[in-house]
Structure formats: C-alpha cells, structure tokens
Amino acid sequence: MKKTVFTGSAVALVTPMKEDGSIDYDMLERLVDFQIQNGSEGIVACATTGESPVLSVEEHCKIVRCIVKKAGGRVPVIASSGSNDTKSAVELSKAVEDAGADALLTITPYYNKTSQEGFVRHFFYIADRVKLPMILYNIPSRTGCNIRPETYKRLAEHPNIVGVKEANGNLAENARTAALCGDDLALYSGEDSLTLPILSLGGKGVVSTSANVIPKEMDEICRNYFQGNFS
C-alpha cells in the first residue's frame, strides 16, 4: 500500500496577477492562508487553473517556493509539472522538486495523442528520474487522449506513481480503475460535480477549482462522506 499524498479536498489554486501581468506574491500568500484556514487538505500549485500555460519556468518555480514557504508544512504542496514533451516534463518536475514541492501533478501528453503504451513509457520515464510521488492528471476533453483502466494498473506498478486526478467523466471506467488498482493508486475527482460519485467508488478526495471560492464547503463534502454523515 502506497502513502496517500492527501485525503479530502485540495485546491487547484489560482495564481493572482497584477494589472501589468506580474505575479502578485503578497496576494498569493494571503490565498494560501485562506485555503488552509478553511479546510483545504492540499494546495496544487501552477495547474491550468493556476495559469501554468502562460508562466515561465522561473515564475512557475518561484510560485511553488512561495506557496511551500507560506504553507510551512501545514498541508502538502503538489506542483504541476506536466508537458506533452517528456524531456520538458522531466526538467520541470526536477525544478519544482528543488523548489520544495511535496508531490507532482503530471498531465497526460496533450495534443500528441499517444497510445496506451506511450502513456506508460512517458510516465515511467518521468517517475524514474524524480524522487517525489506523482499524481497523474487525465482530462481527455482538453488533451485529446484518455488513460484506460488497464493502463492505470500498469502505471500503478511504479512506486512513485501514487494517484490520479481523474476528469474523464466516465464513472464506469473510474469504477474499473478503482477495482483494478485498489490502494496502489489513489483516485481523486478532477471534476467538482463528480466528487461524491468518485468518493463512493473508493476515491480519496478531489482536486477542486471551486475550492478557490468555497474551500470550506468542498472540505465538508469529503469530511462528511468519510465520517458516514449523509444527512
């Protein structure tokens, strides 16, 4: 059984910017405190909600360092580090590892539309070269490719691949993934509206965009489920 990076609601944190397009680090620190004080069990830095497509590598890493410092070990900081280019994904993963991240969130290689074997080779190549636990991110509506349950079973064999943020919207596939992988791959909802169904399949929580606005409520959904409070 692998160690779970977080259980409950982790926020896919926005990246606040000033009018000139520079990062507002003072506001970023305030957002980190707000999230932790209102129940978020983890902070995902520089995901797509956090403007990753428009950030330089330098900005990406500086944001991670800022969040890690402000979080101060109160919750894990998961840094987005994926790319459609395997080499670039490795380089960014190592950079955010050096910046102090606790775990990685690594998206499927978008646009290129690789095969299922390609997923295995891509993610294993990255996982072999980093020390941090990796949470995969599957969102076919944005990437044009979908990881199948049988492929997750193969991916879960790697000790560094510990979870998946699943946003394919296919609960039948999600159920099969949960059945095939068990505790070897933590299942997280990547869609806020499917948080409860994913939890009912044995999921560990949600990576939430809504938590930017309603962190307490997203935490309560997960907490009440785990406590068996359905009233």
Integer Cα distance of 124 and 128 in angstroms: 6
- Give the pLDDT confidence score for residue 53 in this predicted structure: 86
What are the tens digits of pLDDT across the range 131-190? 999 999 999 999 999 999 999 999 999 999 999 999 999 999 999 999 999 999 999 999
Task: List the structure tokens of 209.
Answer: 């965009």
Q: Are 215 and 192 in contact (CB under 8 A)?
A: no
pTM (two decimals)? 0.96
What are the tens digits of pLDDT across the range 31-85? 999 999 999 999 999 999 999 888 999 999 999 999 999 999 999 999 999 998 9
Q: Are 194 and 165 in contact (CB under 8 A)?
A: no
What are the tens digits of pLDDT across the range 89-119? 999 999 999 999 999 999 999 888 899 999 9
CA pseudo-torsion sign 158, 61, 164, 53 = negative
DSSP conformational letter for 224: H
Domains belonging to the chain, first-starting first, are 8-226 (3.20.20.70)
pLDDT band at 230 (very low <50, low <70, confident <90, very high): confident
- Active-site residues, by number, are 137, 165
φ and ψ of 8, to 5 deg: 115, -145
